[in-house]
Structure 1
Amino acid sequence: MKDNFSVQSAGYAKFRPTYPQELYDFLFSLVSAHHTAWDCATGNGQVATVLAEHFTEVFGTDISENQLAHAVQKDNITYLLQSSDRSSFADQTFDLITVAQAIHWFDFSAFYAEVKRTLKPGGVIAVFGYGVMQIDEQVDIIIHKLYKTILGHYWDDERKFIDQGYQTLPFPFRESSVPELYIKTSWNFDQLIGYLNTWSAVQHYEKANNSSPIDLVISELYATWGAGQKEVKFPILLKVGQ
Protein backbone atom coordinates (compact mmCIF):
# COMPACT_ATOMS: atom_id res chain seq x y z
CA MET A 1 0.00 0.00 0.00
CA LYS A 2 1.30 3.44 -0.93
CA ASP A 3 1.65 6.19 1.66
CA ASN A 4 0.81 9.42 -0.19
CA PHE A 5 -0.54 11.30 2.78
CA SER A 6 2.00 11.45 5.60
CA VAL A 7 3.54 14.68 4.34
CA GLN A 8 0.27 16.63 4.49
CA SER A 9 -1.40 14.84 7.40
CA ALA A 10 -2.22 18.05 9.29
CA GLY A 11 -3.90 19.52 6.21
CA TYR A 12 -5.66 16.24 5.57
CA ALA A 13 -7.15 16.33 9.08
CA LYS A 14 -8.19 19.98 8.68
CA PHE A 15 -9.53 20.18 5.14
CA ARG A 16 -10.83 16.76 4.06
CA PRO A 17 -14.65 16.55 3.98
CA THR A 18 -16.60 14.44 6.48
CA TYR A 19 -19.13 11.76 5.59
CA PRO A 20 -22.83 12.40 6.25
CA GLN A 21 -24.81 10.68 8.99
CA GLU A 22 -26.98 9.07 6.30
CA LEU A 23 -24.03 6.94 5.23
CA TYR A 24 -23.38 5.68 8.74
CA ASP A 25 -27.07 5.07 9.43
CA PHE A 26 -27.23 2.90 6.31
CA LEU A 27 -24.13 0.91 7.29
CA PHE A 28 -25.23 0.41 10.89
CA SER A 29 -28.63 -0.86 9.71
CA LEU A 30 -26.86 -3.75 7.96
CA VAL A 31 -24.81 -4.85 10.97
CA SER A 32 -26.46 -7.36 13.31
CA ALA A 33 -24.10 -6.74 16.26
CA HIS A 34 -22.15 -3.67 17.36
CA HIS A 35 -19.31 -5.11 19.38
CA THR A 36 -16.09 -4.67 17.39
CA ALA A 37 -15.18 -2.64 14.28
CA TRP A 38 -12.01 -2.14 12.26
CA ASP A 39 -11.40 1.06 10.32
CA CYS A 40 -8.55 0.16 7.98
CA ALA A 41 -6.37 3.01 6.66
CA THR A 42 -7.98 5.17 9.32
CA GLY A 43 -5.84 8.25 8.60
CA ASN A 44 -6.83 10.91 11.12
CA GLY A 45 -9.50 8.66 12.64
CA GLN A 46 -12.43 10.51 11.07
CA VAL A 47 -14.48 7.36 10.51
CA ALA A 48 -13.19 5.52 13.58
CA THR A 49 -14.48 8.37 15.75
CA VAL A 50 -18.03 7.86 14.47
CA LEU A 51 -17.77 4.08 14.78
CA ALA A 52 -16.71 4.53 18.41
CA GLU A 53 -20.12 6.01 19.18
CA HIS A 54 -21.85 2.82 18.03
CA PHE A 55 -19.41 -0.03 18.74
CA THR A 56 -17.99 -1.25 22.03
CA GLU A 57 -14.45 -1.45 20.66
CA VAL A 58 -12.91 0.10 17.55
CA PHE A 59 -9.50 -0.48 15.99
CA GLY A 60 -8.01 2.01 13.55
CA THR A 61 -4.98 0.96 11.53
CA ASP A 62 -2.75 2.89 9.15
CA ILE A 63 0.74 2.69 7.67
CA SER A 64 1.33 6.40 8.33
CA GLU A 65 2.68 7.17 11.78
CA ASN A 66 2.21 10.87 11.04
CA GLN A 67 -1.46 10.41 10.19
CA LEU A 68 -2.05 8.46 13.40
CA ALA A 69 -0.36 11.25 15.36
CA HIS A 70 -3.19 13.56 14.21
CA ALA A 71 -5.95 11.03 14.91
CA VAL A 72 -8.85 11.87 17.22
CA GLN A 73 -8.52 10.05 20.54
CA LYS A 74 -11.36 8.18 22.25
CA ASP A 75 -11.26 5.69 25.11
CA ASN A 76 -12.65 2.83 23.01
CA ILE A 77 -10.45 3.40 19.94
CA THR A 78 -7.11 1.62 19.64
CA TYR A 79 -4.81 2.90 16.88
CA LEU A 80 -2.22 0.55 15.43
CA LEU A 81 0.56 1.08 12.89
CA GLN A 82 -0.26 -1.78 10.54
CA SER A 83 -0.56 -2.55 6.85
CA SER A 84 -3.91 -3.46 5.34
CA ASP A 85 -2.64 -6.77 4.05
CA ARG A 86 -1.12 -8.12 7.27
CA SER A 87 -3.01 -7.44 10.47
CA SER A 88 -2.50 -8.77 13.99
CA PHE A 89 -6.19 -9.47 14.57
CA ALA A 90 -7.59 -12.87 15.45
CA ASP A 91 -9.96 -14.76 13.17
CA GLN A 92 -13.64 -13.72 13.27
CA THR A 93 -13.05 -10.56 15.31
CA PHE A 94 -15.16 -7.89 13.60
CA ASP A 95 -18.82 -7.09 13.05
CA LEU A 96 -17.90 -4.30 10.64
CA ILE A 97 -14.80 -3.42 8.61
CA THR A 98 -14.59 -0.03 6.90
CA VAL A 99 -12.17 1.52 4.42
CA ALA A 100 -12.67 5.19 3.59
CA GLN A 101 -11.05 6.79 0.52
CA ALA A 102 -8.20 4.26 0.58
CA ILE A 103 -9.21 0.89 -0.90
CA HIS A 104 -7.82 1.84 -4.32
CA TRP A 105 -4.29 1.90 -2.83
CA PHE A 106 -4.50 -1.65 -1.44
CA ASP A 107 -3.20 -5.01 -2.54
CA PHE A 108 -6.73 -6.25 -3.12
CA SER A 109 -6.21 -9.99 -2.84
CA ALA A 110 -4.12 -9.73 0.35
CA PHE A 111 -6.52 -7.31 2.04
CA TYR A 112 -9.64 -9.23 1.10
CA ALA A 113 -8.07 -12.38 2.51
CA GLU A 114 -7.65 -10.49 5.79
CA VAL A 115 -11.26 -9.31 5.64
CA LYS A 116 -12.58 -12.84 5.12
CA ARG A 117 -10.40 -14.11 7.94
CA THR A 118 -11.24 -11.42 10.51
CA LEU A 119 -14.94 -10.77 9.82
CA LYS A 120 -17.43 -12.63 11.97
CA PRO A 121 -20.01 -14.77 10.17
CA GLY A 122 -22.55 -12.30 8.79
CA GLY A 123 -20.16 -9.39 9.31
CA VAL A 124 -20.12 -6.47 6.90
CA ILE A 125 -17.33 -4.95 4.81
CA ALA A 126 -17.93 -1.39 3.57
CA VAL A 127 -15.56 0.49 1.28
CA PHE A 128 -16.40 4.07 0.45
CA GLY A 129 -14.93 7.30 -0.80
CA TYR A 130 -15.86 10.32 -2.86
CA GLY A 131 -15.28 11.66 -6.34
CA VAL A 132 -14.36 15.15 -7.50
CA MET A 133 -16.46 17.85 -5.86
CA GLN A 134 -19.18 19.77 -7.65
CA ILE A 135 -19.59 23.48 -6.83
CA ASP A 136 -20.99 25.48 -9.73
CA GLU A 137 -20.53 25.46 -13.48
CA GLN A 138 -17.78 28.09 -13.68
CA VAL A 139 -15.74 26.85 -10.71
CA ASP A 140 -16.13 23.24 -11.84
CA ILE A 141 -14.58 24.06 -15.23
CA ILE A 142 -11.44 25.43 -13.53
CA ILE A 143 -11.25 22.53 -11.07
CA HIS A 144 -11.58 20.12 -14.00
CA LYS A 145 -8.71 21.90 -15.79
CA LEU A 146 -6.53 21.48 -12.70
CA TYR A 147 -7.60 17.87 -12.17
CA LYS A 148 -7.36 16.60 -15.74
CA THR A 149 -5.20 18.95 -17.82
CA ILE A 150 -2.58 20.17 -15.35
CA LEU A 151 -2.40 17.20 -12.99
CA GLY A 152 -3.48 14.46 -15.42
CA HIS A 153 -0.35 12.30 -15.48
CA TYR A 154 0.62 13.21 -11.91
CA TRP A 155 -2.19 11.11 -10.50
CA ASP A 156 -1.24 7.58 -9.47
CA ASP A 157 -2.67 4.82 -11.65
CA GLU A 158 -4.87 3.71 -8.76
CA ARG A 159 -6.86 6.94 -9.02
CA LYS A 160 -8.71 5.35 -11.95
CA PHE A 161 -10.87 3.39 -9.50
CA ILE A 162 -12.24 6.68 -8.12
CA ASP A 163 -12.67 8.17 -11.60
CA GLN A 164 -14.66 5.05 -12.51
CA GLY A 165 -16.88 5.44 -9.45
CA TYR A 166 -15.59 2.22 -7.80
CA GLN A 167 -17.53 0.31 -10.47
CA THR A 168 -14.40 -1.52 -11.64
CA LEU A 169 -13.11 -2.17 -8.12
CA PRO A 170 -12.59 -5.87 -7.33
CA PHE A 171 -15.01 -6.81 -4.55
CA PRO A 172 -15.39 -10.57 -3.89
CA PHE A 173 -18.34 -10.38 -1.50
CA ARG A 174 -22.09 -10.74 -1.65
CA GLU A 175 -23.00 -7.15 -2.39
CA SER A 176 -25.87 -5.14 -0.97
CA SER A 177 -27.67 -2.51 -3.02
CA VAL A 178 -26.67 0.96 -1.85
CA PRO A 179 -28.39 4.36 -1.89
CA GLU A 180 -27.16 7.41 -3.81
CA LEU A 181 -25.43 9.60 -1.26
CA TYR A 182 -23.48 12.86 -1.25
CA ILE A 183 -21.19 14.76 1.08
CA LYS A 184 -22.61 18.28 1.28
CA THR A 185 -20.78 21.15 2.91
CA SER A 186 -20.14 24.88 2.63
CA TRP A 187 -16.68 26.31 1.98
CA ASN A 188 -14.98 29.66 1.75
CA PHE A 189 -12.17 30.18 -0.75
CA ASP A 190 -9.39 29.34 1.73
CA GLN A 191 -11.04 26.01 2.52
CA LEU A 192 -11.15 25.18 -1.19
CA ILE A 193 -7.43 25.88 -1.58
CA GLY A 194 -6.64 23.98 1.62
CA TYR A 195 -8.49 20.96 0.28
CA LEU A 196 -6.84 21.11 -3.15
CA ASN A 197 -3.44 21.09 -1.44
CA THR A 198 -4.26 17.66 0.05
CA TRP A 199 -4.51 16.06 -3.41
CA SER A 200 -1.75 13.49 -3.87
CA ALA A 201 -1.19 14.66 -7.47
CA VAL A 202 -0.48 18.18 -6.18
CA GLN A 203 2.28 16.72 -4.00
CA HIS A 204 3.69 14.78 -6.97
CA TYR A 205 3.64 17.90 -9.17
CA GLU A 206 5.38 20.01 -6.54
CA LYS A 207 8.10 17.41 -6.09
CA ALA A 208 8.69 17.21 -9.84
CA ASN A 209 8.51 20.93 -10.65
CA ASN A 210 9.44 22.81 -7.47
CA SER A 211 6.27 24.83 -7.81
CA SER A 212 2.59 24.51 -6.98
CA PRO A 213 0.13 23.60 -9.74
CA ILE A 214 -2.54 25.51 -7.84
CA ASP A 215 -0.66 28.73 -8.62
CA LEU A 216 -1.58 28.14 -12.26
CA VAL A 217 -5.30 28.47 -11.55
CA ILE A 218 -5.59 30.37 -8.26
CA SER A 219 -6.21 33.82 -9.79
CA GLU A 220 -8.86 32.44 -12.12
CA LEU A 221 -10.44 30.51 -9.26
CA TYR A 222 -10.46 33.55 -6.99
CA ALA A 223 -12.07 35.75 -9.63
CA THR A 224 -14.73 33.13 -10.30
CA TRP A 225 -15.38 32.34 -6.64
CA GLY A 226 -16.25 35.84 -5.53
CA ALA A 227 -16.94 36.66 -1.87
CA GLY A 228 -18.29 34.44 0.85
CA GLN A 229 -19.06 30.74 0.83
CA LYS A 230 -20.27 28.27 -1.76
CA GLU A 231 -22.11 24.99 -1.44
CA VAL A 232 -19.89 22.00 -2.21
CA LYS A 233 -21.09 18.50 -3.08
CA PHE A 234 -19.08 15.28 -3.38
CA PRO A 235 -20.65 12.11 -4.83
CA ILE A 236 -20.06 9.21 -2.45
CA LEU A 237 -18.65 5.97 -3.86
CA LEU A 238 -19.85 2.95 -1.91
CA LYS A 239 -19.62 -0.83 -2.01
CA VAL A 240 -20.98 -2.98 0.82
CA GLY A 241 -20.85 -6.74 1.16
CA GLN A 242 -20.87 -9.74 3.46
Structure 2
Amino acid sequence: MAELFKKQAELYVKARPSYTPELFEFIASKTPNHDLAWDVGTGSGQAALSLAKIYKNVIATDASAEQLAHASKLPSIRYHHTPSTMTIEEVEHDIAPQGTIDVVTVAQAVHWFDLPNFYQQVNWVLRKPHGVIAVWCYTTPQVDNSVDTVFRCLFSNSESFMDPAREMITDKYKSLDFPFDPVEGLDHTGPIVFEAKKLMELDVYLTYIRSGSPYQTALEKGVELLSEEVIED
Protein backbone atom coordinates (compact mmCIF):
# COMPACT_ATOMS: atom_id res chain seq x y z
CA MET A 1 0.00 0.00 0.00
CA ALA A 2 2.75 2.47 0.94
CA GLU A 3 4.25 2.19 -2.55
CA LEU A 4 1.07 3.64 -4.08
CA PHE A 5 1.51 6.93 -2.24
CA LYS A 6 5.22 7.63 -2.67
CA LYS A 7 4.95 9.76 -5.80
CA GLN A 8 1.83 11.70 -4.89
CA ALA A 9 2.63 12.46 -1.24
CA GLU A 10 3.08 16.19 -1.90
CA LEU A 11 -0.06 16.34 -4.06
CA TYR A 12 -2.00 14.54 -1.33
CA VAL A 13 -1.24 17.08 1.38
CA LYS A 14 -2.02 20.01 -0.96
CA ALA A 15 -5.40 18.86 -2.19
CA ARG A 16 -6.96 16.31 0.13
CA PRO A 17 -9.82 17.63 2.26
CA SER A 18 -9.69 17.91 6.02
CA TYR A 19 -12.41 16.17 8.00
CA THR A 20 -15.37 17.99 9.50
CA PRO A 21 -15.02 18.94 13.20
CA GLU A 22 -18.40 17.33 13.88
CA LEU A 23 -16.86 13.95 13.15
CA PHE A 24 -14.22 14.34 15.86
CA GLU A 25 -16.71 15.81 18.30
CA PHE A 26 -18.87 12.73 17.79
CA ILE A 27 -15.92 10.37 18.34
CA ALA A 28 -14.76 12.25 21.43
CA SER A 29 -18.27 12.10 22.89
CA LYS A 30 -17.96 8.30 22.94
CA THR A 31 -14.63 8.16 24.81
CA PRO A 32 -14.82 9.20 28.50
CA ASN A 33 -11.03 9.66 28.59
CA HIS A 34 -9.18 11.97 26.22
CA ASP A 35 -5.59 11.10 27.05
CA LEU A 36 -4.20 9.11 24.12
CA ALA A 37 -5.25 8.56 20.50
CA TRP A 38 -3.62 6.38 17.85
CA ASP A 39 -4.19 7.49 14.24
CA VAL A 40 -3.22 4.58 12.00
CA GLY A 41 -2.41 5.17 8.34
CA THR A 42 -2.16 8.85 9.17
CA GLY A 43 -0.68 9.83 5.81
CA SER A 44 0.19 13.51 6.06
CA GLY A 45 -1.63 13.84 9.36
CA GLN A 46 -4.99 15.39 8.48
CA ALA A 47 -6.88 13.42 11.13
CA ALA A 48 -4.04 13.58 13.66
CA LEU A 49 -4.17 17.38 13.70
CA SER A 50 -7.88 17.33 14.55
CA LEU A 51 -7.42 14.64 17.20
CA ALA A 52 -4.71 16.75 18.84
CA LYS A 53 -7.28 19.46 19.54
CA ILE A 54 -9.19 17.01 21.76
CA TYR A 55 -6.77 14.33 22.99
CA LYS A 56 -3.74 15.20 25.09
CA ASN A 57 -1.39 13.04 23.04
CA VAL A 58 -1.63 11.50 19.58
CA ILE A 59 0.47 8.72 18.08
CA ALA A 60 0.27 8.96 14.28
CA THR A 61 1.71 6.09 12.26
CA ASP A 62 2.07 5.27 8.59
CA ALA A 63 3.92 2.80 6.38
CA SER A 64 4.85 5.61 3.96
CA ALA A 65 7.82 7.71 5.02
CA GLU A 66 7.10 10.07 2.11
CA GLN A 67 3.64 10.85 3.45
CA LEU A 68 4.94 11.40 6.99
CA ALA A 69 7.57 13.82 5.69
CA HIS A 70 4.76 16.19 4.68
CA ALA A 71 2.86 15.99 7.97
CA SER A 72 2.33 19.12 10.06
CA LYS A 73 4.16 18.91 13.37
CA LEU A 74 2.71 19.60 16.81
CA PRO A 75 4.30 18.90 20.21
CA SER A 76 1.43 16.60 21.18
CA ILE A 77 1.70 14.45 18.02
CA ARG A 78 4.33 11.72 17.76
CA TYR A 79 4.75 10.56 14.17
CA HIS A 80 6.21 7.11 13.69
CA HIS A 81 7.11 5.19 10.54
CA THR A 82 5.97 1.58 10.86
CA PRO A 83 6.02 -1.55 8.70
CA SER A 84 2.76 -2.47 6.98
CA THR A 85 2.11 -5.16 9.60
CA MET A 86 3.35 -5.32 13.19
CA THR A 87 3.52 -7.94 15.90
CA ILE A 88 1.97 -7.33 19.30
CA GLU A 89 5.50 -7.01 20.67
CA GLU A 90 6.26 -4.24 18.18
CA VAL A 91 3.01 -2.47 19.03
CA GLU A 92 3.86 -2.69 22.74
CA HIS A 93 7.37 -1.30 22.12
CA ASP A 94 6.71 1.33 19.45
CA ILE A 95 3.10 2.43 19.95
CA ALA A 96 1.70 2.01 23.47
CA PRO A 97 1.29 -0.51 26.30
CA GLN A 98 -1.72 -2.78 26.48
CA GLY A 99 -5.03 -1.12 27.38
CA THR A 100 -3.81 2.49 27.31
CA ILE A 101 -5.30 4.01 24.16
CA ASP A 102 -8.65 5.79 24.32
CA VAL A 103 -9.35 5.84 20.59
CA VAL A 104 -7.91 4.24 17.47
CA THR A 105 -8.76 6.07 14.25
CA VAL A 106 -8.24 5.20 10.61
CA ALA A 107 -9.09 7.81 8.00
CA GLN A 108 -9.33 6.72 4.35
CA ALA A 109 -6.95 3.80 4.85
CA VAL A 110 -8.40 0.72 6.55
CA HIS A 111 -9.23 -0.90 3.18
CA TRP A 112 -5.46 -1.30 2.63
CA PHE A 113 -4.85 -3.11 5.93
CA ASP A 114 -4.29 -6.73 6.88
CA LEU A 115 -7.48 -6.62 8.92
CA PRO A 116 -7.04 -9.70 11.17
CA ASN A 117 -3.58 -8.48 12.18
CA PHE A 118 -4.78 -4.91 12.68
CA TYR A 119 -7.85 -5.85 14.70
CA GLN A 120 -5.67 -7.96 17.00
CA GLN A 121 -3.55 -4.86 17.65
CA VAL A 122 -6.65 -2.74 18.27
CA ASN A 123 -8.00 -5.16 20.85
CA TRP A 124 -4.60 -5.17 22.54
CA VAL A 125 -4.11 -1.42 22.89
CA LEU A 126 -7.65 -0.13 23.51
CA ARG A 127 -8.56 0.91 27.02
CA LYS A 128 -11.11 -1.40 28.61
CA PRO A 129 -14.06 -1.03 28.74
CA HIS A 130 -14.44 2.37 27.07
CA GLY A 131 -11.90 2.36 24.23
CA VAL A 132 -13.26 3.14 20.77
CA ILE A 133 -12.16 2.34 17.22
CA ALA A 134 -13.45 4.68 14.51
CA VAL A 135 -12.74 4.23 10.81
CA TRP A 136 -14.07 6.31 7.95
CA CYS A 137 -13.66 7.16 4.29
CA TYR A 138 -14.91 9.71 1.82
CA THR A 139 -16.17 8.83 -1.62
CA THR A 140 -16.37 10.86 -4.83
CA PRO A 141 -16.54 14.65 -4.54
CA GLN A 142 -19.73 16.48 -5.41
CA VAL A 143 -19.65 19.98 -6.94
CA ASP A 144 -22.64 20.49 -9.22
CA ASN A 145 -24.35 18.52 -11.94
CA SER A 146 -22.13 19.70 -14.82
CA VAL A 147 -18.83 19.09 -13.02
CA ASP A 148 -20.02 15.85 -11.43
CA THR A 149 -21.07 14.48 -14.83
CA VAL A 150 -17.53 14.94 -16.16
CA PHE A 151 -16.07 13.45 -13.00
CA ARG A 152 -18.29 10.37 -13.18
CA CYS A 153 -17.05 9.72 -16.71
CA LEU A 154 -13.44 10.17 -15.57
CA PHE A 155 -14.08 7.89 -12.60
CA SER A 156 -15.52 5.21 -14.89
CA ASN A 157 -12.45 5.42 -17.14
CA SER A 158 -10.17 5.01 -14.13
CA GLU A 159 -11.84 1.88 -12.73
CA SER A 160 -9.48 -0.50 -14.55
CA PHE A 161 -6.56 1.16 -12.74
CA MET A 162 -8.07 0.83 -9.26
CA ASP A 163 -6.79 -1.60 -6.68
CA PRO A 164 -9.56 -4.07 -5.71
CA ALA A 165 -9.22 -2.91 -2.10
CA ARG A 166 -10.83 0.38 -3.12
CA GLU A 167 -14.14 -1.40 -3.73
CA MET A 168 -14.83 -0.97 -0.01
CA ILE A 169 -14.76 2.79 -0.50
CA THR A 170 -17.15 2.57 -3.44
CA ASP A 171 -19.71 0.88 -1.20
CA LYS A 172 -18.92 3.28 1.68
CA TYR A 173 -17.45 0.54 3.91
CA LYS A 174 -20.74 -1.34 4.06
CA SER A 175 -18.85 -4.54 3.15
CA LEU A 176 -16.07 -3.92 5.67
CA ASP A 177 -15.55 -6.69 8.20
CA PHE A 178 -15.88 -4.76 11.46
CA PRO A 179 -16.10 -7.11 14.47
CA PHE A 180 -16.74 -4.50 17.15
CA ASP A 181 -19.76 -3.57 19.22
CA PRO A 182 -21.56 -0.29 18.45
CA VAL A 183 -20.75 2.66 20.66
CA GLU A 184 -23.11 3.76 23.40
CA GLY A 185 -26.37 5.14 22.13
CA LEU A 186 -26.28 3.36 18.76
CA ASP A 187 -27.57 -0.03 17.72
CA HIS A 188 -25.17 -0.40 14.78
CA THR A 189 -21.52 0.32 13.94
CA GLY A 190 -22.31 2.45 10.91
CA PRO A 191 -21.70 3.76 8.42
CA ILE A 192 -22.68 7.12 9.91
CA VAL A 193 -22.73 10.01 7.45
CA PHE A 194 -20.90 13.32 7.92
CA GLU A 195 -20.47 16.01 5.30
CA ALA A 196 -17.22 17.88 4.69
CA LYS A 197 -17.05 20.98 2.51
CA LYS A 198 -13.95 22.43 0.88
CA LEU A 199 -13.67 25.42 -1.44
CA MET A 200 -11.34 24.55 -4.34
CA GLU A 201 -10.03 26.43 -7.32
CA LEU A 202 -10.02 24.29 -10.46
CA ASP A 203 -6.28 23.60 -10.27
CA VAL A 204 -6.66 22.29 -6.71
CA TYR A 205 -9.58 20.10 -7.80
CA LEU A 206 -7.39 18.66 -10.56
CA THR A 207 -4.58 18.14 -8.06
CA TYR A 208 -7.05 16.24 -5.88
CA ILE A 209 -7.70 13.88 -8.80
CA ARG A 210 -3.98 13.52 -9.53
CA SER A 211 -3.30 12.62 -5.89
CA GLY A 212 -5.37 9.45 -6.18
CA SER A 213 -3.78 6.04 -6.65
CA PRO A 214 -5.85 5.20 -9.80
CA TYR A 215 -4.55 8.32 -11.55
CA GLN A 216 -0.95 7.55 -10.60
CA THR A 217 -1.30 3.91 -11.65
CA ALA A 218 -2.71 4.97 -15.02
CA LEU A 219 0.10 7.48 -15.50
CA GLU A 220 2.71 4.79 -14.85
CA LYS A 221 1.07 2.76 -17.61
CA GLY A 222 1.23 5.70 -20.03
CA VAL A 223 -2.42 6.73 -19.74
CA GLU A 224 -3.25 10.38 -19.00
CA LEU A 225 -6.75 10.37 -17.53
CA LEU A 226 -6.82 14.16 -17.26
CA SER A 227 -6.51 14.91 -20.94
CA GLU A 228 -6.79 18.49 -22.24
CA GLU A 229 -10.31 17.67 -23.40
CA VAL A 230 -11.36 16.42 -19.96
CA ILE A 231 -9.86 19.50 -18.27
CA GLU A 232 -11.66 21.77 -20.77
CA ASP A 233 -14.95 19.99 -20.02
Superposition TM-score, scaled by structure 2 size: 0.89
The residue matched to 2:137 in structure 1 has which SS?
strand
Where in structure 2 are the equivalents of 1:140-159 lying within 5 Å?
Answer: 140-148=148-156, 150-159=157-166
What per-residue deviation string (whole Å, max 9, x for no partner) do you get for residues 207-237 of structure 1?
Answer: 011x4211151121xxxxxxxxxxxxxxxxx
Pair 1:37–1:26, CA change in 2 (3 A): same
Unaligned runs of 5+ in 1: 221-242
Where in structure 2 are the equivalents of 1:122-141 lying within 5 Å?
Answer: 122-141=130-149
Whether the 8 Å contact between 1:85 and 1:114 is mirrored in structure 2 is no
Deviates more, 1:194-203 or 1:89-98: 89-98
Instruction: Give the Å deviation of 1:109.
Output: 0.5
Question: Which residue number corresponds to residue 192 of structure 1?
Answer: 205
Where in structure 2 are the equivalents of 1:223-238 lying within 5 Å?
Answer: none
Instruction: Give the Å deviation of 1:164.
Output: 0.7
Question: Which residue number corresponds to residue 224 of structure 1?
Answer: none
Pair 1:76–1:13, CA change in 2 (3 A): same
Question: Which residue number corresponds to residue 238 of structure 1?
Answer: none
Pair 1:72–1:2, CA change in 2 (3 A): closer
Where in structure 2 are the equivalents of 1:85-124 lying within 5 Å?
Answer: 85-86=85-86, 87=91, 88-89=94-95, 90-121=97-128, 122-124=130-132
Whether the 8 Å contact between 2:39 and 2:105 is mirrored in structure 1 is yes
Matched AA of 1:218: I
Percent of pairs identical after alignment?
Answer: 35
Distance, in Å, in 1 between the alignment partners of 2:193 and 2:217 is 32
Pair 1:84–1:173, CA change in 2 (3 A): farther
Instruction: Give the Å deviation of 1:2.
Output: 4.5
Question: Which residue number corresponds to residue 3 of structure 2?
Answer: 3
The residue matched to 1:27 in structure 2 has which SS?
helix
Whether the 8 Å contact between 1:84 and 1:111 is mirrored in structure 2 is no
Greater percentage in strand: 1
Where in structure 2 are the equivalents of 1:38-117 lying within 5 Å?
Answer: 38-83=38-83, 85-86=85-86, 87=91, 88-89=94-95, 90-117=97-124
The runs of 4+ residues in structure 1 deviating greater than 3 Å are 176-179
Which of 196, 204, 214 matches 1:183? 196
Matched AA of 2:215: V
Where in structure 2 are the equivalents of 1:207-226 lying within 5 Å?
Answer: 207-209=220-222, 211-215=223-227, 217-220=230-233
Whether the 8 Å contact between 1:41 and 1:84 is mirrored in structure 2 is no
Unaligned runs of 5+ in 2: none
What per-residue deviation string (whole Å, max 9, x for no partner) do you get for residues 167-217 of structure 1?
Answer: 0001010024454311112222111111111110000000011x4211151
Instruction: Give the Å deviation of 1:93.
Output: 2.2
Matched AA of 1:189: L
Question: Which residue number corresponds to residue 231 of structure 1?
Answer: none
What per-residue deviation string (whole Å, max 9, x for no partner) do you get for residues 123-165 of structure 1?
Answer: 00000110101111121111011111x1111000011000011
Instruction: Give the Å deviation of 1:83.
Output: 3.3
